[in-house]
């Protein structure tokens, strides 16, 4: 199959941190850090037997979303034969595995997830991988290891009830990683030789050297201190910042120093102790969303604040049981937020300034949908735990189901990787397969 590659353009959308070619997908939430691409030409109707250019067999499970730069696709996977998480590069044209390198020993500590949950990040020359047991490694595109460090060895064992997963982030010459964890050990996890701190870490991408570590305090309790979100760069009013969600609050930080610029809280005034946070923040049209867990509302906060934010900084709060999300991070695409309710199975289009629900449509999935939605070419792409794929039309007049098909197998139970639109191809990751779908 011959695919005409779209013309490379340099785009800067509202909220993007730096102009990047819109056809690449350099980090977990794409070129604009919001789950969207401005590229066109992606199919709406496809299946496992229609439109698949290739499928690559992976050595094991993993929830990391594919990262794409030109002809290189990067992801992590478990490999039971090595008892390890491996970093993989796949040829985007053929689906062949170019290289597979061991990140570190071990594959999992619980039955719900694996150490291969964090997505990589790349600048087009180097790719950085992180695994849930603390291994952080940089490779060049030929698979040469440039540096390696283990965050648990450096700062103590992670204090999480479940397997930790947050993706590294690259912005303006620094590599960021957030660790928002409990303040005491849980289930035998967590350091005992010193204080357990939640922090935002900035490193030199070339060497892995720590540039600064900003301790992020929180008055949350127990599991509510834990977050599986990823730090998101935001550019608003000419001021860049790194936005972090978790520990019952939302904070903005100076990218150069980690200094806290502002704080909003809380979505948990009752100090419920089991509200770990999974969704990352998302920015669009001057608004930052933070999603309370366990079926509670989505909160919209005005960007550009300073200090402890007043009640007036809260622009709106979602109402009803449709507009909420426990796991998926919302999408901002072409002027609207799209919020996926993973448990009650609704996709809602929401106006960013008012919170008005433009439309809310049921998703006819058999199981939960924990993969975050992505948007491109006037379409919203979703995938369930079972590998059920849904394509909705986007925009205020959207909400139409354009396609419903299944890529998972009968035994699929924990598919969480987002569908990635890049370079004229949709990448769909199931249990141990990566599919490339093209027109």
* Residue range 392-433, pLDDT digits in tens: 999 999 999 999 999 998 767 789 999 999 999 999 999 899
Q: Are strands 307-308 and 260-264 parallel, antiparallel or unpaired?
A: parallel
- Tell me the two tokens of residue 88: 């993989």
The DSSP bridge partners found for residue 78 are 85
Q: How many CB atoms lie within 10 A of CB 172?
A: 13
Reply yes or no on whether the pLDDT at 8 is more than 70.
Answer: no
Q: Please check whether residue 220 is in contact with residue 271, taking contact to mean a CB–CB distance below 8 angstroms.
A: yes
Reply yes or no on whether the pLDDT at 198 is more than 60.
Answer: yes
Structural class in CATH, domain 10-437 = mainly beta
DSSP code at position 192: S
Reply yes or no on whether the pLDDT at 191 is more than 90.
Answer: yes
pTM of structure: 0.94
Share of the chain above pLDDT 70, in %: 95
The DSSP bridge partners found for residue 84 are 79, 105
Which pLDDT score, from 0 to 100, does residue 108 have?
87
Q: How many CB atoms lie within 10 A of CB 91?
A: 14
Query: For the segment 138-190, what is each residue's pLDDT rounded down to a tens digit?
Result: 999 999 999 999 999 999 999 999 999 999 999 999 999 999 999 999 999 99
**Nearest CA to 120 among 18, 27, 233, 25?**
27
């Amino acid at each position: 199959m011959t695919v005409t590659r779209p013309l490379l353009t340099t785009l800067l959308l509202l909220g993007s941190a730096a102009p990047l070619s819109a056809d690449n997908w350099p980090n977990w939430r794409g070129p604009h850090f919001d789950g969207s691409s401005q590229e066109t030409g992606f199919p709406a109707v496809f299946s496992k037997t229609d439109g698949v250019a290739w499928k690559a067999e992976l050595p094991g499970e993993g929830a990391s979303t594919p990262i794409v730069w030109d002809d290189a696709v990067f992801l992590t996977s478990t490999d039971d034969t090595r008892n390890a998480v491996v970093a993989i590069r796949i040829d985007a044209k053929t689906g062949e595995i170019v290289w597979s390198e061991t990140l570190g020993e071990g594959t999992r500590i619980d039955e719900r997830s694996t150490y291969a949950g964090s997505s990589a990040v790349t600048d087009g020359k180097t790719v950085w991988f992180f695994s849930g047991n603390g291994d952080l490694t940089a490779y060049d595109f030929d698979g040469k290891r440039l540096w390696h460090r283990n965050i648990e060895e450096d700062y103590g064992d992670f204090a999480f009830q479940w397997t930790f997963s947050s993706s590294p982030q690259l912005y303006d010459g620094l590599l960021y990683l957030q660790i928002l964890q409990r303040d005491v050990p849980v289930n035998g996890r967590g350091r005992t030789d010193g204080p357990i701190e939640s922090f935002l870490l900035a490193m030199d991408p070339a060497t892995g050297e720590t540039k600064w570590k900003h301790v992020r305090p929180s008055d949350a309790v127990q599991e509510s201190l834990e977050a599986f979100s990823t730090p998101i760069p935001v550019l608003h009013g000419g001021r860049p910042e790194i936005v972090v969600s978790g520990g019952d609050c939302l904070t903005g930080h100076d990218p150069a120093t980690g200094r806290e610029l502002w704080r909003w809280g809380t979505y948990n005034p009752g100090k419920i102790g089991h509200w770990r946070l999974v969704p990352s923040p998302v920015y669009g049209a001057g608004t930052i969303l933070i999603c309370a867990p366990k079926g509670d509302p989505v909160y919209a906060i005005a960007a550009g604040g300073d200090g402890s934010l007043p009640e007036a900084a809260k622009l709106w709060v979602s109402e009803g049981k449709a507009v909420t999300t426990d796991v998926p991070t919302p999408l901002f695409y072409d002027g609207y937020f799209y919020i996926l309710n993973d448990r009650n199975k609704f996709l809602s289009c929401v106006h960013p300034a008012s919170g008005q629900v433009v439309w809310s449509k049921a998703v006819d999935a058999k199981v939960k949908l924990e993969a975050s939605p992505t948007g491109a070419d006037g379409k919203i792409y979703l995938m369930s735990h079972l590998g059920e794929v849904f394509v909705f039309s986007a925009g205020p007049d959207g909400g139409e189901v354009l396609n419903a098909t299944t890529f998972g197998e009968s035994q699929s139970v924990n598919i969480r990787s987002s569908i990635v639109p890049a370079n004229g191809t949709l990448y769909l990751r199931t249990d141990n397969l990566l599919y490339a779908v093209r027109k």
